[in-house]
Structure 1
C-alpha cells in the first residue's frame, strides 16, 4: 500500500459518494423538459473492473529493478487497477472510454517517489531507457493531459506525486509558503490553516487536485478575484529535468529576461516534473460571507460584475449565472419548510408585480472576506451597484448553501452517464466588450450542433472570474446521444464540443481559461496564440525535451510535434 488516495477508476471522486435526484423534486421534470431524459428510469452502472481487458505491463526487468531501487519495492505498482486509474483524467471522453473498456495504451507502471531526489532518479532512469514520463497529481484533469498516446511503443511510467504532500515551511514575514507539489487542496489548506494561513485557491476540483497540477495547467480558483489565479499565487518552484533541476526563488518581481516561471506555468509536464512550489499565503480572514443576489436579466448581471471590477470593492467571488443555469440551480433545491418555504413564492410574486420576467432572472453569488467593518464597507459598495442594475439581495442563506455544495457538482456527470446522457463543460475568457456576443454566439453554436445531431440538448453559462479587462465565461452542456455505441457517442460529443470551442475562437476569446490545453484543445492552439506563437512554444519544448520523453502529445497540435 502506498498511502496515496485515488479517485474512482470509472468516475469522479471517492467510492460511497454519488449524486441523487430523489431529494430534489423539481429536478426530474426540469431534465425531462430540457433534454427528454427520465431520471426515474433505472440507470446502467459502470462495468465491474474484472470485466475490463487491461493490456499487460511492458515494464522491462532492468528498468523495473532500477525504479524499485530508487523508490522501494512497494512504490512501483504494476497492478491492473492502479494502472487504469492512471490512464485517464476525468474528462467526459475519458469516462466514456474507460467505462467502455477502451484501453489502447495504459501506463506500464505507476511510481511513487517520496522526495525530490527519488523523482530525479526516476526521471533519469526512464529517460535513459527512452521511456515516457507522465506526471500525475490528483487525476482530475479534464482536457486529456494524462493519457498516454495510443501509438506509443515505449515504456510509459506514470509518476504519481501523491507522497510529496507536505507544507515544508512558511515565511511569515513574506507571506510565502513552500509546499510539495503532490499536496491535495484539502491537505495543504489543513496544514496552512493550522498555522493561521490560507492559500485561498479553490478550483472546482479542489478536493481531488494537487498544487503541482494547478501550476501545470494554469488553474484558477473560485476566489481568484481576491487571491489571484495560480499564475499570480505561484512565486517560485523546483522542477526536475533529466540530469538537472530548475530552481526559481520566490521573488516578488524580477527583470531576469523572459520568465522561466511563466514557461513552467501551464506546461502540463512537458518541461519537467514540478516537485515544490513557493506560493503566496494570507492570514485567515476574521469573517467570510457569500451573499446571493438576483438580477432581472443576464445583461444586467454582466454589467454589474463589470462595474464591481472597476469599483473600490474587492470581493473574493463574483459569479452570475444566465437564466438557463439559474433555472437549473433552482431545480436542484431540496424542499423547504416553514417560513423558508413561503418566502420564495412571496418574493417571486412581488418581483412579477414589479414587471420582472422570472424566466430571465439570473442568480449571482458574491463573496467577501475581512474584518466586520471591511465587509460592511464592501457589501455597501456592491449593494449600490447591484441596485443600480436592477438587482436585489437574497441574503446569506442561499450563499451559504452554494458555499457548502460548490465542490459536489462533478458528481452529476457520472449520474448523467448512468442514465444515458452526456454532460460536460468548456470555459473561456474575453474582454468585457466581447462577452455578450461571445455568450450569445456560443449558446447558438451549441444549439445548432444539437439540431444537426437531431438531439434535444441544453446549454447554460455563468461568469466565474472577473478581471480588470474582462472575465471568464463557463459553459455547461448536456444532451442524450442518438446512439448507445461509445465510439459514436464520443463522435457526437465532439460535434457539440467543437462547435463551442470554435465559437470561442470566432468571437476573439481563448480556448481555455483554466482547464488547460491537453489534447482536447490543442487543435485550436495556433488560432489562439498564432502560428508564430506556436513556433516559439514548440521550439521551447523541443529544446528541453528533444527525445519527447516528457508527456508527449499534450499542448501542441499533432502536426507540430517533432
Structure 2
C-alpha cells in the first residue's frame, strides 16, 4: 500500500481536525446575524462511506496488468476508497455532491509513479489504450479541475504524483531549486528551510497542495507581493507527453517565440503531466513579521493599499478586509481575558471618541521581510501612508494570530455544511480604477441572488495580491440552503462570476478555470482567445486524453443567461428564527 497521504474523502484536511466555536464567544451571534443559522444546532454528519454508490472500474485486465508492471502492485489501486478520493477536488459543489451520493464517474484506477520514467511509461501505455489521464497532486482544487467528465466511457487513469516529493537540487549561486511536482507545500519549505532557503509561496491550500498543482492552475500565494505569483516563481519545468518530454531550462528571460512555459502554466493537465519544476528561491529573511492596522472604512483601506503599491515600500503581504469580513475575523477570536481584554476595550473606546463607526471599521494585515533595518524602513513608510488615510496600527499581536490561523479557514466550510449552510469563495482581479466598482457590483449581485432564492445570505471581501496596476478581490459568501443546494449555489455563484465580468474583473485571479469558471472564458478572453486555446489543445492532444473538459468546456454563458438563472431561482423556505 502506498504511503502517500490524502485528505479525507468527504471534506477538507485530515480526519480529527475541524473548526470549533466553543472558545469563540462572538461566533454564535455573528453567524445568526449573517445567515440566520444557529450553529448550536446538532450537526448532520456526512454519509458513511459504505452508503456511497460507486460503479465498478471500467478497466481491461491487460491494461491493468501493464500499469501494475510499471508501478508495482502496491502503487496501483482499484479499490473504492482510493478511487473516490481521486474523483473530486474540494469545491463546495464537490463536497455537496459527495455528501449527497451524487458520483457520476470515478477514475477506474489510481497509479502512483516513483519517478519521471514511470510517468512516461504510464502516459505512453494510456495513450496506446486510448485511456484518459488526469494528473493528481494534493486534491485541493476548488474549480473542478480534477473531476472526470460524467459521460466519459473510456478508461480513466488518475495519475497521482505524491511519491515525487523531493527537492532535487539547489543552485545556490543562482537562487534556483529543482523540485519534483508532487511535493506539497510543507515538504517543500521543510527541505528548503533546512538549507536556509524559502520558496515564499503560501496559498490558502498550502498544507495540502503541490508544486505541480500550483503551476497547472496558475496559483498565487499570500506573500505574492514580494515573491510573485507561481508564474513568476516557476522558471523552468519538465512535462511528460506521449513519447517525449518537454524540457524548459530555467533561464532568466528568453526571446524564443511564443512562450511554451506560459502555455503550460495554467493548462490544468490538458497538455501533459508536469513532473518537475525549477523555481526561484530566496534566503530565509532575517526578520519576518505581520503587522495589523485598522482603517475607518473600506474606501480608506483601498486607497491606502493603492498608495502602498506605488510607494518605495515592498511589503510581502498587503491585505485589507471590508467591514463584513473584519467583523467575521473579530468574531472568530478566542475570548480575551485580563490585560488583553482590557486593552481591546480601551482601543474601541478611543476609536469611538475619534468618531469612528465601529461597524464600518476594516482590519488590515501587512507583512514585512528582510533585514532588521529594511523592515524598520518599510514599516515607517507604510505607517505614514496608513496615518494619511486615517488608519491606526495595532501591533504584531493580531498579525501573529493571522499567521497562525491562515491555513485553517477551509475547515469552517465543512462545519457549516454539517449544519445545512453552503459557504464558498470567488476571487477576481481588476485595475485599481475599477476595484470599487467590482466590489459594489459583486455585493449587489449576490444580494439580488439571495433575494431571488428567498434566503438570508452573506458576502464579504478582502483585497490582497497588490500589483502596480491593480489587485485581487477575494469574496466569501454563505447561505442556508434548502433541498436543492447545488441549484441554489449556482444562482449565487453565477451571479458573482457575471458581476466580475460586468464590472471589468477577470473570472479568477488564482483558483484556475476547471469546469467551475469555464462558462465565462469567452467573455474573459474573447471568442478569438478561446479559439487560440482550443487550437492548442486540439493540436497537442487530438484524442482529448489529457484531463478533457477543463479550461474550455461546452457551456459558455452570457449576462442574459445569468439573469434568466436568477429569475428562475428555486425558492428556499425561510429559516426558522433561533430559540
Q: Normalised by the size of structure 2, how large is the TM-score?
A: 0.96
Answer yes or no: is 1:429 the counterpart of 2:465: no
User: 1:228 matched to which residue of 2?
Assistant: 228
The equivalent of 1:499 in structure 2 is 495
- The Cα shift of 1:417 comes to 0.1
CA distance in 1, matches of 2:334, 2:199: 32
Which residue is 1:60 aligned to?
A: 60
Matched, 1:323 2:316: no
Cα shift readout 1:354-374 (whole Å, capped 9, x = no counterpart): 111111000000000111111
Q: Which whole-Å deviations, capped at 9, do the CAs of 1:254-277 have from their partners, x for residues lacking one?
A: 000000000000000001000000
Q: Does 1:548 align with 2:544?
A: yes
- Cross-structure match for 1:131: 131
Structure 1 residue 112 displacement after superposition: 0.2
2:521 alignment counterpart:
525
Question: Partners of 2:194 and 2:129 in 1: how far apart?
Answer: 43
Within 5 Å, give how 1:35-54 maps onto structure 2: 35-54=35-54
- Counterparts of 1:315-354 in structure 2, within 5 Å, are 315-354=315-354
Distance in 2 between residues matched to 1:559 and 1:471, nearest whole Å: 28
Could you say which residue in structure 2 is the equivalent of 1:489? 485
Question: Which runs of structure 2 are paired with 1:105-504 in the superposition (5 Å)?
Answer: 105-481=105-481, 483-484=482-483, 488-504=484-500
Residue of structure 1 in register with 2:564 after alignment: none
Q: Please report how far the alpha carbon of residue 557 of structure 1 lies from its aligned counterpart in structure 2 after TM superposition.
A: 2.5
In 2, the alpha carbon distance for the partners of 1:101 and 1:557 equals 24
- 2:97 is aligned to 97
Secondary structure in 2 matching 1:516? coil
Distance 1:217 1:133 in 2: 17
| Counterpart contact for 2:71–2:113, Cα < 8 Å | yes
* C-alpha deviation, 1:559, in angstroms: 5.5
Alpha-carbon distance between aligned partners in 2 of 1:434 and 1:33, rounded to the nearest angstrom: 30
2-structure distance, mates of 1:388, 1:445: 32
SS in 2 for 1:314: coil
Q: Which moved more, 1:53-62 or 1:175-184?
A: 53-62
Instruction: State the Cα deviation string for residues 278-332 of structure 1 (Å, max 9, x = none).
Output: 0000000011000000000101001000000000101000000000000111111
Aligned-partner Cα distance in 1 for 2:351–2:51: 55
Partner of 1:21: 21
The answer to whether the 8 A contact 2:166-2:188 is kept is yes
Is this contact kept in 1: 2:518–2:555, CA < 8 A?
no
Contact 2:429 2:509 survives alignment (8 Å)? yes
Contact 2:519 2:555 in 1 (8 A): no
Other structure's SS at 2:133 match? strand
Q: Kindly provide the CA deviation profile for residues 424-483 of structure 1, in whole angstroms up to 9, marking residues without a partner as x.
A: 0000000000000100110010000000000000000000110000000000000001x2
**Shift >4 Å, 4+ stretches:** none
Q: Distance in 1 between matches of 2:101 and 2:86?
A: 14
Q: Distance in 1 between matches of 2:67 and 2:195?
A: 36
Specify the SS of the correspondent of 2:465.
Answer: strand
Partner of 1:511: 507
The equivalent residue for 2:532 is 536
What is the alpha-carbon distance in structure 2 between the residues aligned to residue 102 and residue 60 of structure 1?
25
CA distance in 1, matches of 2:210, 2:539: 27
Write out per-residue CA displacement over residues 494-522 of structure 1, whole angstroms, 9 at most, x where no aligned residue: 00000000000001110000000000000
Q: Distance in 2 between matches of 1:78 and 1:210?
A: 23
Cα deviation, 1:199-252, whole Å, max 9, x if unaligned, reads 000000000000000000000000000000000000000000111110000000
Cα deviation 1:352-405 (Å, max 9, x = unaligned): 111111110000000001111111000000000000000000100000000000
SS at match of 1:466: coil
SS at 1:476 equivalent: strand
The C-alpha deviation readout for 1:138-197, integer Å capped at 9, x for no partner, is 000000010000000000010000000000000000000000000000001100000110
Q: Secondary structure at the match of 2:130?
A: coil
Shift in Å, 1:60? 1.0
Structure 1 gap ranges (5+): none
CA distance in 1, matches of 2:18, 2:199: 28
CA distance in structure 2 between the partners assigned to 1:33 and 1:320 by the alignment: 22
Cα-Cα RMSD: 0.7
Distance 1:354 1:141 in 2: 44
Structure 1: distance between partners of 2:343 and 2:128: 68
Aligned residues: 556
Aligned partners of 2:35, 2:528: CA distance in 1, in Å? 42
Report the 3-state secondary structure (helix = DSSP H, G, I; strand = E; otherwise coil) of the residue aligned with 1:174: coil
Q: Distance in 1 between matches of 2:512 and 2:397?
A: 34
